[in-house]
Amino acid sequence: MGKKSRTIMIILLAFLLLIVIGVVWFLRWTNPDFASSLEGVKRNQVTRKLIICVDGVPWRTINQLWEKGHFKAFHRPSKVIVAFPTMTNVTSTVIWNASRVAGYESAYFDKEKNLMVSGVGKYLHKRVIEPGDFHQHFDYLEPIPYESTTYVLPRRICKSDLKRFIEAYSISEKEEFCTFIKSTDGMMHILGKEGAEEILLVIDDMLDKIYHSRKDDMEIMLFSDHGFNFAKSRRVKLKSLLKSSGFDVRNDLRNEKSVVLPSFGLVGFAAIYTAEDNKRKIAQQVPALEGVDFSAYRKDDALHIFGQEGEAKILKKTVNHTELYKYEIITGDPLSYKDILESLTRLGKADKEGYIPDSDWFEATKDHPYVDALNRLYQAFSGQVESEADILISLKDGYFHGNALFSVIATILGTHGSLLDTNSVGFFMSTAKEAPSHIRDNQLIDYLK
C-alpha cells in the first residue's frame, strides 16, 4: 500500500471513529429511561412552586384527558388565547412580557440588514440568553442540539428531555423552579394526537410522583405556549404563486419586484417582505391559493384582511384608556364576524363611528374559530417582532408552509401557526387554584406569580 493510500485509509478510519464516538455520545445523552431518575425527586424538599411549560399542547387535548380523570391533582384547565402567528418565539415573548425577538422563527429576514438569517447556525452553537429574553425565566431548557432531532426521534428525545428536567429539579435548591419542555412539539408534529396523548400521560405520571413526594406541600403549574391542529398536512405553493405573478422571490429586496418568503419550520403561517406598492396586490392574490385561509397587511392605521369571502378592514382607537376596534366589511366577511358585529351593534356596544370596546369583542369571540381576531391581528402588526412582516398569511388546518427539504424528510401529522382556534388556544392549570375559563396570553403572568 502506497503512502497516499495509507493517508486516505487513516483519514477514513478517523472519520469513522468520529462517527462512532458521535453516535455513542448521542445515545448516552438521549437515554429515554427516566424511571430511576424519578426516585431522585424525593431529594428536593425546597421547591415550593414548580412551573412547567409544555410546547404546543392544545387546550382541547389536555381538557379531554382531565375530564377522563387524568391530571387529577390539578384544577380544571383554562383556555389561554395567544398571539398570532402562533409560534413559540412570538407567544412566549408576550406571555413573559419579554424583549422582542428578532423574527418569527430561527430563520428570518432581517429588514434592517436586508438579508436572510439562517436558522441552522442556531443549532450549532451554545444558546446565548440575552437580558430580557424569555428563555431567562427557565431553570431547565432542552440543550439546543436536541431541538432539531426531536423531529427525527420524537419519543427518544422527548423522554430524555424529561429525564434531564427531573435530574435538574431533583438537585435544585430554589423555592421556585421553572422549566420549558420543548420536545413535546416534535411528538405532536410527527406522531399526531396519539403522540400528544402518549407523552402527556407520561408527564401526568411524572408530576403525580413529584407532587406526592412532597406530601402535596407545593404548587405545580402546567401551561402551554400555543395550541396545535392535528391534521395530516401538505405544503402550500406560495413560492410558485408569487413567481407566476411576476415577482422575484429571493433572499433580499433588490428591486420593486423583489419578494422575500422565509421558509423554515413546517408551520401554518407565512410571512412576506416586499415593497409597499406590492402589498395590496399580493394580499389580494394569495387567498385564491389552495390551503390559504386569509392574508393581512397594514397601511397606515388600518389592517386590510383578504379571504375567499372578500375584504374587510380593522381599525383601532383609544378613548380614555379604553381600546376599541372597528370591523369594517368592504366586499365580504373573511373573519365570519358579521353576525357578531350586528349583535354587538344591536346591544348598543358600538359608538357613532362603529367602534366597539375590546372587552366586548373578546367576550363575543373567545370561543369563535377566529378567536379574539381583531386584537390579535392588530397586535401582529404593532411590533411583536423586530423584523415585522409586510404581509402575514394564515393557512387552513391541513396545510403548512416551510422548508422544502424538511417536508420531504418528515410526514407532518399536524402543526401550528395560524389564527384559527385550533392553533391559538393553549392551556393553564394549577394544583392550587382554578383560573378563569379564558385568559389572554398577556394576563397569564399574573397566574404564574
Residue 61 within any structural domain of the chain: yes
Residues 6+ apart with CB under 8 A from 298: 304, 381
Residue 322 within any structural domain of the chain: yes
Which conformational region is residue 336 in: left (phi greater than 0), alpha (psi within -120 to 50 degrees), or beta? left
Of the two residues 3 and 138, the one the predictor is more confident about is: 138
Residue 310 within any structural domain of the chain: yes
Residue 264 within any structural domain of the chain: yes
Q: Does residue 7 have a pLDDT over 90?
A: no
Angle at 292 between CA 290 and CA 293, to 5 degrees: 130
Q: Are residues 376 and 320 in the same domain?
A: yes
State the DSSP string of 336-367. S-HHHHHHHHHTT-S-TTS-EEHHHHHHHHTT
Write the CATH number for 147.
3.40.720.10
Q: Are residues 247 and 137 in the same domain?
A: no
Q: Are residues 247 and 149 in the same domain?
A: no
Q: Are residues 444 and 404 in the same domain?
A: no
User: What CA–CA distance (Å, rounded) separates 216 from 372?
Assistant: 37
Q: How large a percentage of the chain has pLDDT more than 70?
A: 89
Q: Are residues 288 and 433 in the same domain?
A: no
Q: What is the pLDDT of residue 22?
A: 54
Q: What is the pLDDT of residue 346?
A: 97
Q: Are residues 173 and 289 in the same domain?
A: no
Residue 428 within any structural domain of the chain: yes
Q: What is the pLDDT of residue 139?
A: 96
Q: pLDDT grade, residue 58 (50/70/90)?
A: very high
* Number of domains observed in the structure of the chain: 2
Quote the domain boundaries for residue 92: 39-98+133-230+423-448
Q: pLDDT grade, residue 132 (50/70/90)?
A: confident
User: What CA–CA distance (Å, rounded) separates 295 from 286?
Assistant: 7
Residue 16 within any structural domain of the chain: no
pLDDT digits (tens, 9 = 90+) for 157-188: 899 999 999 999 999 999 999 999 999 999 99
Q: What is the pLDDT of residue 214?
A: 83
Q: Are residues 280 and 344 in the same domain?
A: yes
What is the average per-residue pLDDT within 327-350?
97
Q: What is the pLDDT of residue 34?
A: 73
What is the average per-residue pLDDT within 349-363?
98
Q: Does residue 431 have a pLDDT over 70?
A: yes
Q: Are residues 271 and 385 in the same domain?
A: yes
Ranges 152-156, 375-379, 387-391, 431-435: which has the least confidence: 152-156
Q: Are residues 219 and 245 in the same domain?
A: no
Q: Are residues 241 and 220 in the same domain?
A: no
Residue 28 within any structural domain of the chain: no
Q: Are residues 219 and 243 in the same domain?
A: no
Ranges 154-158, 339-343, 384-388: which has the least confidence: 154-158
pTM of the model: 0.91
Q: pLDDT grade, residue 263 (50/70/90)?
A: very high
Share the mean pLDDT of the chain: 91
Q: What is the pLDDT of residue 424?
A: 97
Residue 20 within any structural domain of the chain: no
Q: Are residues 250 and 205 in the same domain?
A: no
What is the average per-residue pLDDT within 415-428?
97
Residues 6+ apart with CB under 8 A from 3: none
Q: What is the pLDDT of residue 149?
A: 81
Q: Does residue 271 have a pLDDT over 60?
A: yes
